[in-house]
């Protein structure tokens, strides 16, 4: 039989204790059961804390009462019903025959070993789905519910977490600032579950909440969403509303800097970060250490380091993850290539990698949370040299996005490591400059990982890096561009004012999709080739009229969108184009030209 560690022992003991309490909600019956059964259930836990029969009796008596006093009882509206504290001169509750002050009073100090012990997760886990749906939320602590929900979410139980918190927000006007953490957690759950409609409705209710802290939390989230969509005018208008609502909220500093960095306004972000450092340093009521360090990093121009430093403050999972990434092993070549003419051929993994891939597939079946994968990767460092594993792991981790700075601290280092691995393999087989086509299924994991590197570089405003990798993929590795990377490359050329390269790329893909056709028009306008731009626009508008309409709309209405699906020539395609590239049309004066043309 497997020997449990003290922490695992404790977990099992608490589960069994709650099950016993819920049977009768009788303290005397529970205390008798604990005295008789606890040591057999959790021997390693008790041996780690006490030594000797007398000390064991006292500790068991203390811990039984401690567990009872913190357990939420359904019969008491899910509130604890603590036992009265023994009088100093009364007989000790452990049954030793001594006075309490001479016996187990000293055990009260043991409470410091378990300061944040919450029994609510164990109580809720013991309930049926119907019982959880009928919880008396008016009697429950919103902060403790948020703690349970966040724990479940990190364990891969986002659906359970969302159902738990949805009951709390049935009437948002009955809640106050104590529900802010639960509000943020429920929004995160909807992100994980891919439920944008529920997220949108919750945000709408939040922005109309009676409590101003809840309103502010909803407005901050909405502000970030607008900035992510490049709708900066709306984001700044909402930010000004937030300043009026909560003018002294320190979190406004992080929000302002985040929007500026999203816009690529590093210089302005550094100026504002300097202002915020001075202001928060004078705050006598709060310590803002991690926030000030983040702001100081931005002020000094070290944006990636600043985001990373803040991310590392966000709990054990993030710390474990960043520690793992900080110690990535050097890439190893465990693939073979058989070059042919202008092709490198398929990436063929060796037996060692194939065995590791099989182990990873088994790991995926039993993994319940991110920590499980972290532990597996720590035991199997060769996984960092396997595109098949990296492809799947990055997809899962990217979806998690558990903190600000996550991209810079976790995703980009791994993606750059993967690029180094691919270049090392090509060099080993003298395949530099050859194609690595998508048509070979064996090449797809590596190409997908490289595509993520381009996307993540763009997201973090590393435009030059995004262009460098995208050029390599589109112009060398996979000129057929099955992954549709050419439109992003063309527009990033324009962001770097490489208009000639943009036009050359457009010439390689004539009569292409909407983004390439309108990107060509934009490049011609930026190159002052107005006659050619007019002709290209006639072609683009004839084939894809919705894009022009969307670009010209003062306040376009978002069409119905379906994840992973885009209709060629449809309003959804036009919407996505505007979201991604409208800023280029504005800053280059191409939008004014288009308005005159139409």
CA–CA separation, 434 vs 471, rounded Å? 13
The neighbour count for residue 119, using CB atoms within 10 Å, is: 21
- 388's CB contacts (< 8 A; 6+ apart) are 349, 353, 357, 360, 445
CA angle 217, 314, 295 (to 5 degrees): 70
CA–CA separation, 212 vs 218, rounded Å? 10
Instruction: Give the closest residue to 580 by CA, choosing from 505, 490, 482, 462.
Output: 490
Q: Which residues pair with 562 in a beta bridge?
A: 565
The predicted structure's pLDDT at residue 26: 94
Q: Which residues pair with 348 in a beta bridge?
A: 336
The predicted structure's pLDDT at residue 4: 37
CA angle 119, 125, 129 (to 5 degrees): 135
The predicted structure's pLDDT at residue 473: 97
437: Cα separation from own chain's centroid: 32
CA–CA separation, 495 vs 524, rounded Å? 14
CA–CA separation, 500 vs 495, rounded Å? 12
The neighbour count for residue 35, using CB atoms within 10 Å, is: 15
CA–CA separation, 113 vs 123, rounded Å? 21
492 within 8 A of 557, measured Cβ to Cβ: no
The predicted structure's pLDDT at residue 383: 95
The predicted structure's pLDDT at residue 6: 46
Q: Counting beta carbons within 10 angstroms of the beta carbon of residue 582, is it exposed (0 to 12), middle (13 to 18) or buried (19 or more)?
A: middle
552 within 8 A of 594, measured Cβ to Cβ: yes
* pTM for this predicted structure: 0.62
**Burial code of 123-161, b = ≥16 C-beta within 10 A, e = fewer?**
bbeeeeeeeeeebebeebbbebbbbbbbebbbebbbebb
491: Cα separation from own chain's centroid: 27
DSSP 473: I
In a 3-state reduction of DSSP, which class is residue 569? coil
300 within 8 A of 272, measured Cβ to Cβ: no
**Burial code of 516-555, b = ≥16 C-beta within 10 A, e = fewer?**
bbbbbbbbbbbeeeeebbeebbeebbeebebbbebbeeee
The predicted structure's pLDDT at residue 402: 47
Encoded tokens for 47: 């041996």
Count CA within 13 A, CB hemisphere, residue 182.
26
List of long-range contacts for 537-545, beta carbons under 8 Å, 24+ apart: 537/594, 537/597, 540/514, 543/514, 543/517, 543/569, 544/514, 544/517, 544/518, 544/569, 544/573, 544/574
The neighbour count for residue 282, using CB atoms within 10 Å, is: 7
Instruction: Give the closest residue to 223 by CA, choosing from 208, 236, 207.
Output: 236
586: Cα separation from own chain's centroid: 31
458 within 8 A of 492, measured Cβ to Cβ: yes
CA–CA separation, 227 vs 264, rounded Å? 11
CA–CA separation, 598 vs 593, rounded Å? 9
Alpha helices (H) in 169-265, listed in sequence order: 180-193, 196-207, 212-228, 232-245, 251-262
pLDDT (tens digit per residue) in 130-160: 888 899 999 999 999 999 998 888 787 889 9
Q: List, in sequence order, every beta strand (DSSP E) within 309-373.
A: 335-336, 348-349
Q: Does domain 131-300 have CATH number 1.25.40.10?
A: yes
Splitting the chain (598 residues) into consecutive groups of 10 residues, what average pLDDT does each group show?
52 92 93 91 80 77 89 93 88 83 78 77 91 90 92 85 93 91 91 85 92 92 84 90 90 89 84 88 66 83 62 58 86 94 94 93 73 87 96 82 64 94 96 95 96 90 92 96 94 95 95 94 96 95 94 88 83 91 91 88
DSSP 372-414: HHHHHHHH-GGGGG-HHHHHHHHHHHHHH--STTHIIIIIHHH
């Amino acid at each position: 039989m497997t020997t449990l560690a003290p922490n695992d022992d404790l977990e099992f003991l608490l589960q069994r204790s709650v099950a016993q309490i819920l049977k009768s909600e009788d303290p005397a019956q529970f205390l008798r059961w604990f005295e008789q059964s606890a040591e057999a259930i959790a021997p390693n836990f008790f041996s780690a804390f006490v030594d000797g029969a007398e000390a064991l009796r006292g500790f068991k008596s203390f811990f039984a009462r401690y567990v009872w006093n913190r357990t939420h009882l359904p019969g008491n509206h899910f509130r604890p019903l603590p036992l009265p504290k023994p009088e100093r001169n009364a007989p000790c509750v452990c049954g030793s025959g001594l006075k309490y002050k001479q016996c187990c009073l000293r055990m009260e100090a043991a409470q410091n070993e378990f300061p944040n012990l919450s029994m609510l997760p164990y109580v809720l886990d013991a309930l049926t789905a119907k019982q959880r749906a009928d919880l008396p939320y008016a009697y429950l602590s919103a902060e403790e519910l948020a703690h349970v929900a966040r724990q479940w979410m990190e364990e891969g139980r986002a659906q359970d977490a969302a159902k738990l918190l949805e009951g709390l927000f049935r009437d948002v006007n009955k809640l106050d600032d104590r529900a802010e953490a639960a509000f943020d957690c429920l929004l995160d759950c909807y992100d994980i579950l891919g439920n944008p409609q529920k997220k949108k409705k919750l945000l709408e209710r939040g922005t109309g909440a009676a409590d101003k802290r809840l309103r502010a939390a909803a407005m901050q989230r909405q502000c970030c969403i607008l900035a992510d969509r490049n709708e900066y005018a709306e984001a700044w208008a909402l930010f000004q509303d937030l300043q009026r609502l909560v003018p002294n909220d320190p979190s406004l500093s992080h929000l302002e800097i985040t929007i500026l960095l999203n816009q690529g306004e590093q210089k302005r972000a550094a100026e504002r970060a300097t202002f915020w450092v001075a202001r928060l340093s004078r705050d006598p009521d709060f310590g803002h250490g991690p926030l000030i360090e983040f702001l100081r990093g931005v002020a000094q121009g070290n944006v990636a380091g600043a985001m990373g430093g803040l991310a590392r403050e966000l709990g054990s999972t993030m710390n474990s993850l960043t520690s793992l990434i900080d110690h990535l092993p050097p890439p190893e070549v465990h693939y073979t290539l058989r070059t042919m003419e202008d092709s490198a051929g398929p990436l063929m993994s060796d037996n060692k990698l194939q065995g590791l891939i099989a182990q990873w597939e088994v790991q995926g079946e039993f993994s319940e949370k991110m920590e499980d994968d972290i532990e597996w990767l720590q035991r199997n460092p060769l996984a960092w040299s396997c595109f098949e594993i990296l492809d799947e792991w990055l997809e899962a981790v990217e979806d998690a996005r558990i903190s600000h700075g996550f991209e810079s601290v976790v995703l980009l280092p791994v993606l750059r490591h993967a690029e180094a691995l691919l270049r090392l393999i090509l060099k080993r087989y003298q395949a530099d400059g050859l194609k690595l086509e998508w048509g070979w299924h064996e090449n797809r994991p590596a190409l997908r990982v490289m595509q993520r590197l381009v996307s993540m570089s763009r997201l973090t405003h590393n435009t030059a890096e995004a262009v460098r990798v995208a050029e390599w993929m589109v112009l060398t590795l996979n000129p057929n561009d099955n992954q549709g990377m050419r439109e992003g490359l063309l527009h990033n050329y324009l962001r770097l004012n490489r208009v000639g390269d943009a036009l050359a790329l457009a010439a390689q893909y004539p009569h292409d999709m909407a983004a390439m056709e309108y990107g060509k028009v934009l490049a011609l306008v930026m190159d002052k080739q107005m006659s050619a731009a007019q002709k290209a626009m006639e072609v683009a508008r004839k084939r894809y009229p919705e894009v022009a309409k969307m670009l010209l709309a003062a306040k376009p209405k978002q069409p119905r969108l379906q994840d992973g699906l885009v209709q060629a020539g449809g309003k959804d395609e036009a919407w996505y184009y505007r979201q991604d590239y409208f800023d280029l049309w504005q800053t280059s004066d191409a939008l004014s030209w288009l308005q005159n043309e139409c």
